[in-house]
A and B are shown apart, each in its own frame.
Chain A
Amino acid sequence: MSKYNVSLETVRVADGSTRSFIEYKQTYIDPHVNEFEKNRLALKSKVKMAFVPLTIVGGAIALIFLYLLIFLENNAAETKDDPYVFTIIGCVIILIAAGGYIQYHTNKFRLKIKDTIFPRIFAFFGDGFSYKSTSNFSARTLRHTEIIPDFDREKYEDDINGHYKGVDIEIVDAHLRKWKNSGKKRKLKTVFKGLIITFQMHKSFKGQTVITKDSGGLGNWLRGKLSKYDTVRLEDPKFEKIFEVFSSDQVEARYLLTTAFMERLLKLSDTFGSNSIQCCFHGQNLLITLSTYKNFFEPKSVYSKLDFNDDCRSIIAEMSQIFDMIDTLKLNQNIGL
């Protein structure tokens, strides 16, 4: 049974109505299953072929190590120039090459699924919904939102675009890194990994409201001092425990942060398996960041029989949460207030 508890018979689409995904899948996705299954089996045999030298080399390394440990452990001088050391290095190179070979072919196959099947799944939602495995997105213009950390390198994949009830949606899988330390210790450290979701609507927010994760008493106090905005104290103790809110407009912040929205935010975080969700309302946009080390929009296992059912179900479940967010906040309504 699938872990995604969603019905494929009534799936919400871009205009808010519901359609059956079953017939759609039969028409647009299932015809590709046989071809991909054939490719998958070919990939499986390639992997098996690579496993033969891998096993031999792995076994050889284990034997050499055993030999070195048992017979030469008391004679360091002899082992120094021992030909076994070079053999081990050679074996490691072979291991890396074989591993790279498997990785290359698996990634190529995954990418083919992403480029062929995923756009078809997203097209079901209608109204310009599209999927690309690469992205031209940049978070540099979003630094003022206070939820995008300072970074030097940015990498994005999986770009989803579309409109739900007239609200523009863009979702990207982002990896932001920053240089830490200096000299020899200088290295790139991940400062954010996860999803960046932007909603652009016709409704405009007067102020800027930032919802960040709670950093404890001292952390919150410091953050409050560093933030351009005032802290918003909320009545919901559950939400207060998880989040810290700052806003330039106290009334608007309370208007946006209703109990329904707070619950929706937590549910969205659960659906995407995020350990930290943050968001910012600014101008005509709502920006959400979902931090997680999980890789989103990836095909499920390529080592078991393909039917794309779990891929479809997970995408439908995730998109449904995003649509719920728009409905809860009534982002589609603009009544001139």
Chain B
Amino acid sequence: MSTSFIIILIICGIGYYLYVSLVQKKNKAKEALSGIDVQLKKRADLIPNILKIAQKFMEHEKELLTDITELRAQVTKDYDREQKAEVEEHLKAAEMLAGKMGKLMIAVEDYPDLKSDQTMVQAQQTYNEVEEHIAASRRFYNSAVTELNNAVEIFPSSVIAKMIKISDMPFYEADEASKAPVDADQYLK
């Protein structure tokens, strides 16, 4: 067996290993994205119940309730998981919805009757649990995306990635509102 044949064999082996590894990483990221969607679906299913209870008491928060309804519709809309832009848009909408829901939960504090309503208490508890599951799936997704993006961007797997058209995926980041610093004075008035 000639030396050049062995070298070609080794190169092919490495190439195949990189190819398999890239596909595995891509699939893992997609699986993680599905995991997020499962949790987002749970949240979306929960929102109508919360809104139904809230509407009875929160006359002055109509705008917020409408925003939540619209964002919910946007999040539950079907999208192409292969398209980076669509994934990005979907995750952005999900995070905006989380922000608005957070605002709603804070607003509940101003309505003592609603706050003490047992159905609302139970719904809030379930909602918080769903949010924790979403946070967990986000951590899994971001870790899978980090592995994929590193493989897509770093040589030599970047060459294989270009050849088989595997591209990077967007991170699921917290929305700008939750990243903003908290003004403690506002709450301690």
A, B from the same assembly? yes
Cβ contact within 8 Å between B137 and A335: no
Residues in chain A near residue B35, CB distance under 8 A: 250-251
Q: Which residue of A lies closest to B144 (CB)?
A: A250
Binary interface encoding of chain A residues 221-253 relative to chain B, with 1 for a CB under 8 A from any of its CBs, else 0: 000000000000101000000000000001111
Q: How many residues from A make CB contacts under 8 Å with B?
A: 13
Q: In the complex the two chains form, is B143's CB within 8 Å of A251's CB?
A: no
In the bound complex, how far is the Cα of B36 from the Cα of A255, in angstroms? 12
**Complex partner residue of A337 from B32, B129, B140, CB under 8 angstroms:** B129
How far apart are the CA atoms of A233 and B150 in the complex, in Å?
Answer: 15
A337 and B126: CB pair below 8 A?
Answer: yes
A253 to B139, CA, bound (A): 10
The interface on chain B, measured as residues whose beta carbon lies within 8 A of the other chain's beta carbons, has a size of 17
Task: Give A250's nearest chain B residue, CB to CB.
Answer: B140
Q: How far is the CA of A336 from the CA of B129 in the complex (A)?
A: 10
B157, CB-defined interface residue at 8 Å:
no
Given A254-B136, A254-B137, A255-B136, the answer on whether A233 and B126 have CB atoms closer than 8 Å is: no
Main secondary structure, interface of B, reads: helix
Within B99-135, the residues touching A (CB, 8 Å) are: 122, 125-126, 129-130, 132-133, 135
Q: Are A254 and B129 in contact (CB under 8 A)?
A: no
Question: Hey, which chain A residues are within 8 Å of B135, CB to CB?
Answer: 255
Given A250-B32, A251-B35, also A235-B143 (CB < 8 A) = yes
Give the docked Cα–Cα distance between A252 and B139 (Å): 11
B39 interface contact, C-beta 8 A: yes
Nearest Cβ distance between residue A63 and chain B, in whole angstroms? 72
A253 to B140, CA, bound (A): 9
Docked Cα-Cα span, A251 to B122, in Å, equals 23
Question: B122 to chain A: which residues have CB within 8 Å?
Answer: 335
A residues with a Cβ closer than 8 A to B are 233, 235, 250-255, 258, 333, 335-337
Q: 15 A-B contacts, Cβ less than 8 Å apart?
A: A233-B143, A250-B35, A250-B140, A251-B32, A251-B39, A251-B136, A251-B137, A251-B140, A254-B140, A335-B125, A335-B126, A336-B126, A337-B42, A337-B129, A337-B130
